[in-house]
């Protein structure tokens, strides 16, 4: 904390000699809780002096706690996990020492004194808050992190889920403690406090707000791991491997799928299937909004490979689960999706994976081998499907070995989810609620407060694997100079770039047309409305499609037909709803050739 301005602390007094005034200034600068000075001037006496002594003690202890927090953060960032328990012990001792004086009757009496009482209350709330966080969150978490491993039970061969249960309990406590404390801090009337106390409250409020932001993804991750390990009982889990070479809004079609049986840390592969194993042309029994059918047509619910058409993974998870139930009589409890783009990120942590024939799949070649080279080696669907299944099994075994840096893997999984290449859905409402608001949920935000999100999504309609050669770019131009009617113009360019001397195998080229058809879906901000839809450059042919409100957002569809070497440009303009709007963020389909995104903000004169 910065020291208070002396002008805030001084009372009007008679002129004094310069040496005395200088001494008085030095003395005041070292006062921590400035309301106590008012008490000394007005009332004097033992009570005021006792409060001053307590305040000085609290000041020193909170300074020690602050130093311990900084040391804890450094140790955690540097992964010096063995050092965390000792640092947490020092933090807990300082926090408890700070809170003890604020619980005394004399301090509580200070809280009801007119004018100055809110200062006493503010300091007590902060001291108690630091103590609660230290005792109920930091100390148990540091103890767990200092000894955490993904050990296996020698009797069952499964993972020991006891540390996971501990972590879940700590996270639950953290959620409760931080939420309750933040409510108390927000109830402090900083207008009734002096400058430095109010500043300390604002800093603590900001700290708690940042802590609250970390809780949902932490709970989502723990809920996801718990589901994947069957911590709460046996579960059937579908791993859907998305094929980005045949683009779908969520990444690609779930052409290869693996069924896991998980229970109390034991994980087994029980079945591997491809999209060809599921019946088509008859919709599964899953309620879907009419807006989704208008945009994505009945293919969304007819074909398992189109289940990821809508940029909403809860929709995809339910449809994939329904296909399993209809085809095999199995009702999955959990559906997880990942694509080779995400797998390549995980392989940076695990290192190379060996196939049965000795072939190595690495972070550098995973995308090209799985999404392109396989079709040259195995020109027909069955051979490539078998290759995908073998690769998926080998990569899965490598990840489940846990023979790597688990903390680096945790970061890799976080990065993969943030980029839209890892998503999860649970049939259990309580577990699914843990994913709400996180990227693991695979949904667009419901509002614009934290970020004003627009969506740019692609879907192949050529029944091809041509998107290995598709370049895409999105430019979003915003004008928020009129807050009551901000505008967002989304322009998307597509370029088909197949090397002219390359002879493509039949499984890559379109089986539907003598050109390549891509559907483009542009979503505006939540609560916005569509102003216009244009086709500045048509390629072979481009036409606007359905325009609806889907997922509480305006959505515009375009159908783009291209032959090699052609380009097309589509554009939609949206008018946003009045109100608070966060910074503009663009979410896109995870493409093999990553979509180049540019955001341009209009200058307000």
SS3 of 163-186: HHHHHHHHHHHHHHHHHHHHHHHH
Q: How confident is the model at residue 496 (pLDDT cuts 50, 70, 90)?
A: very high
Give the helix, strand, coil percentages of the chain, each rounded to 5: 45, 20, 30
Report the pLDDT averaged over residues 107-127. Answer: 81
As a whole number, the mean pLDDT across the chain is 87
Q: How confident is the model at residue 114 (pLDDT cuts 50, 70, 90)?
A: confident
Question: Tens digits of per-residue pLDDT, 409-428?
Answer: 989 999 999 999 999 999 99
Tokens (6 digits) for 415: 């990065």
% of the chain at pLDDT higher than 90: 56
Inter-residue contact 574 to 524 (CB < 8 Å): yes
Task: Give me the pLDDT at residue 50, please.
Answer: 58
Q: Tokens 């002879």 sit at which residue?
A: 503
Task: Give me the pLDDT at residue 384, please.
Answer: 84
Q: How confident is the model at residue 380 (pLDDT cuts 50, 70, 90)?
A: confident
129 against 10, higher pLDDT: 129
Alpha helices in 358-500 (DSSP H): 366-368, 374-377, 381-401, 406-418, 429-435
Inter-residue contact 584 to 601 (CB < 8 Å): yes
Report the pLDDT averaged over residues 512-524. Answer: 96
At residue 51, does pLDDT exceed 80?
A: no
At residue 257, does pLDDT exceed 50?
A: yes
Q: Does 445-601 match 235-432 at the fold level?
A: no
Q: How confident is the model at residue 593 (pLDDT cuts 50, 70, 90)?
A: very high
Residue 149 burial by Cβ neighbours in a 10 Å radius (0-12, 13-18, 19+):
exposed
Q: How confident is the model at residue 363 (pLDDT cuts 50, 70, 90)?
A: very high
At residue 2, does pLDDT exceed 70?
A: no
Report the pLDDT averaged over residues 151-155. Answer: 74
Q: How confident is the model at residue 210 (pLDDT cuts 50, 70, 90)?
A: confident
Contacts of 575 (CB under 8 A, 6+ apart): 485, 486, 487, 488, 528, 529, 531
Q: Tokens 């767990």 sit at which residue?
A: 144
Task: Give me the pLDDT at residue 14, please.
Answer: 42
Q: How confident is the model at residue 7 (pLDDT cuts 50, 70, 90)?
A: very low
**Range scoring the smallest mean pLDDT among 285-289, 358-362, 580-584, 590-594:** 580-584
Spatial separation of the C-alpha atoms in residues 84 and 141, rounded to whole Å: 9
% of the chain at pLDDT higher than 70: 91
Inter-residue contact 34 to 196 (CB < 8 Å): yes
Task: Give me the pLDDT at residue 287, please.
Answer: 95
Q: How confident is the model at residue 535 (pLDDT cuts 50, 70, 90)?
A: very high
Q: Identify which of 90-94, 203-207, 248-252 has the greatest average pLDDT.
A: 248-252
Task: Give me the pLDDT at residue 52, please.
Answer: 58
Task: Give me the pLDDT at residue 83, please.
Answer: 87
Q: How many residues are given for the chain? A: 605
Contacts of 136 (CB under 8 A, 6+ apart): 173, 174, 177
Q: How confident is the model at residue 516 (pLDDT cuts 50, 70, 90)?
A: very high
Task: Give me the pLDDT at residue 43, please.
Answer: 41
Report the pLDDT averaged over residues 135-141. Answer: 89
Task: Give me the pLDDT at residue 55, please.
Answer: 67
Task: Give me the pLDDT at residue 509, please.
Answer: 93
Topology of domain 445-601, CATH: Immunoglobulin-like (2.60.40)
Task: Give me the pLDDT at residue 360, please.
Answer: 96
Strand 452-460 and strand 584-588: the pairing is parallel
Supply φ then ψ for residue 99, to 5 degrees: -80, -25
Question: Tens digits of per-residue pLDDT, 19-37?
Answer: 444 444 443 333 434 444 4
**Range scoring the smallest mean pLDDT among 110-119, 292-301, 549-558:** 110-119
At residue 44, does pLDDT exceed 80?
A: no
Topology of domain 235-432, CATH: Aminopeptidase (3.40.630)
For residue 556, the surrounding DSSP H or E stretch is strand 553-562
Tokens (6 digits) for 592: 């093999």
**Range scoring the smallest mean pLDDT among 1-15, 60-74, 215-229:** 1-15
Spatial separation of the C-alpha atoms in residues 345 and 419, rounded to whole Å: 11
Report the pLDDT averaged over residues 209-229. Answer: 89
Report the pLDDT averaged over residues 275-279. Answer: 92
Spatial separation of the C-alpha atoms in residues 595 and 589, rounded to whole Å: 8
Question: Tens digits of per-residue pLDDT, 238-252?
Answer: 999 999 999 999 999
Sign of CA dihedral 230, 232, 237, 242: negative
Question: Tens digits of per-residue pLDDT, 328-357?
Answer: 999 999 999 999 999 999 999 999 999 999
Report the pLDDT averaged over residues 138-158. Answer: 79
Spatial separation of the C-alpha atoms in residues 491 and 522, rounded to whole Å: 9
Question: Where do the domains of the chain lie?
Answer: 6-228, 235-432, 445-601
Spatial separation of the C-alpha atoms in residues 81 and 73, rounded to whole Å: 11
Residue 534 burial by Cβ neighbours in a 10 Å radius (0-12, 13-18, 19+):
middle
352 against 145, higher pLDDT: 352
12 against 21, higher pLDDT: 21
Spatial separation of the C-alpha atoms in residues 464 and 469, rounded to whole Å: 11
Within 10 angstroms of residue 162's Cβ, the number of other Cβ atoms is 12
Spatial separation of the C-alpha atoms in residues 352 and 364, rounded to whole Å: 9
At residue 479, does pLDDT exceed 70?
A: yes
**Range scoring the smallest mean pLDDT among 76-85, 304-313, 335-344:** 76-85
Task: Give me the pLDDT at residue 419, please.
Answer: 95
Tokens (6 digits) for 333: 């409890």
Q: What is the DSSP letter of 507?
A: T
How would you label 244-260 residue by residue, b for 16+ Cβ within 10 Å and e otherwise? bbbbbbbbbbbbbbbbb
Q: What is the side-by-side order of every strand in the sheet holding 553-562? A: 541-550, 553-562, 516-523, 452-460, 584-588
Task: Give me the pLDDT at residue 198, please.
Answer: 80
Spatial separation of the C-alpha atoms in residues 448 and 526, rounded to whole Å: 6
């Amino acid at each position: 904390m910065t020291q208070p301005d002396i002008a805030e602390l001084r009372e009007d007094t008679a002129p004094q000699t310069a040496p005395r005034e200088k001494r008085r200034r030095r003395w005041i600068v070292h006062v921590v809780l400035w309301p106590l000075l008012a008490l000394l001037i007005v009332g004097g006496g033992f009570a005021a002096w006792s409060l001053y002594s307590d305040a000085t003690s609290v000041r020193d202890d909170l300074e020690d706690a602050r130093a311990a927090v900084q040391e804890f953060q450094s140790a955690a960032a540097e992964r010096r996990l063995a050092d965390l328990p000792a640092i947490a012990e020092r933090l807990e001792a300082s926090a408890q020492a700070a809170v003890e004086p604020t619980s005394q009757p004399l301090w509580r009496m200070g809280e009801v004194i007119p004018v100055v009482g809110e200062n006493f209350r503010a300091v007590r709330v902060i001291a108690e808050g630091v103590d609660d966080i230290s005792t109920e969150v930091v100390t148990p978490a540091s103890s767990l992190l200092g000894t955490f491993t993904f050990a296996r039970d020698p009797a069952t061969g499964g993972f020991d889920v006891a540390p996971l249960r501990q972590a879940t309990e700590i996270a639950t406590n953290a959620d409760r403690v931080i939420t309750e404390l933040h409510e108390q801090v927000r109830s402090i009337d900083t207008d009734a406090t002096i400058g430095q106390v109010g500043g300390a409250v604002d800093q603590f409020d900001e700290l708690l707000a940042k802590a609250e932001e970390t809780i949902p993804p932490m709970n989502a991750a723990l809920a996801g791991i718990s589901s994947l390990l069957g911590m709460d009982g046996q579960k059937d889990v579908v791993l859907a491997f998305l094929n980005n070479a045949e683009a779908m809004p969520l990444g690609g079609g779930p052409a290869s799928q693996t069924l896991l049986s998980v229970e109390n840390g034991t994980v087994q592969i029980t079945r591997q299937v491809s999209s060809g194993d599921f019946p088509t042309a008859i919709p599964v029994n899953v309620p879907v909004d009419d807006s989704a059918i208008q945009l994505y047509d009945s293919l969304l619910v007819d074909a398992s490979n189109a289940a990821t058409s809508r940029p909403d993974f809860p929709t995809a998870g339910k449809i994939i689960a329904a296909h399993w139930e209809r085809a095999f009589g199995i009702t999955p409890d959990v559906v997880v999706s990942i694509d080779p783009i995400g797998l390549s990120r995980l392989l940076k942590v695990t290192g190379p994976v060996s196939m049965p024939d000795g072939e190595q799949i690495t972070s550098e070649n995973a995308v090209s081998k799985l999404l392109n080279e396989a079709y040259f080696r195995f020109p027909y669907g069955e051979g490539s499907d078998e290759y995908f299944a073998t690769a998926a099994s080998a990569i899965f075994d490598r990840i489940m070995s846990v023979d790597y840096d688990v903390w680096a893997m945790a970061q890799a999984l976080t990065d993969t989810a943030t980029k839209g290449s890892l998503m999860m859905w649970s049939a259990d409402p309580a577990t699914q609620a843990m994913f709400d608001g996180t990227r693991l949920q695979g949904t667009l935000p419901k509002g614009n407060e934290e970020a004003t999100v627009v969506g740019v999504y692609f879907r192949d309609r050529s029944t091809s694997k041509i998107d290995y050669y598709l370049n895409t770019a999105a430019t979003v131009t915003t004008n928020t100079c009129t807050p009551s009617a901000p505008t967002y113009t989304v322009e998307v360019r597509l370029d088909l770039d197949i090397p002219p001397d390359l002879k493509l195998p039949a499984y890559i080229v379109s089986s539907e047309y003598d050109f390549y058809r891509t559907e483009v879906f542009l979503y505006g901000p939540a609560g916005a409305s569509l102003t216009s839809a244009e086709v500045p450059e048509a390629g072979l042919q481009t036409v606007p499609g359905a325009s609806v409100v889907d997922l509480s957002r305006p959505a515009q569809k375009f159908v783009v037909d291209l032959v090699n070497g052609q380009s097309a440009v589509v554009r939609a303009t949206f008018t946003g709803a009045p109100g608070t709007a966060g910074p503009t963020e663009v979410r896109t389909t995870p493409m093999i050739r990553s979509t180049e995104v540019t955001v341009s903000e209009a200058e307000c004169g």
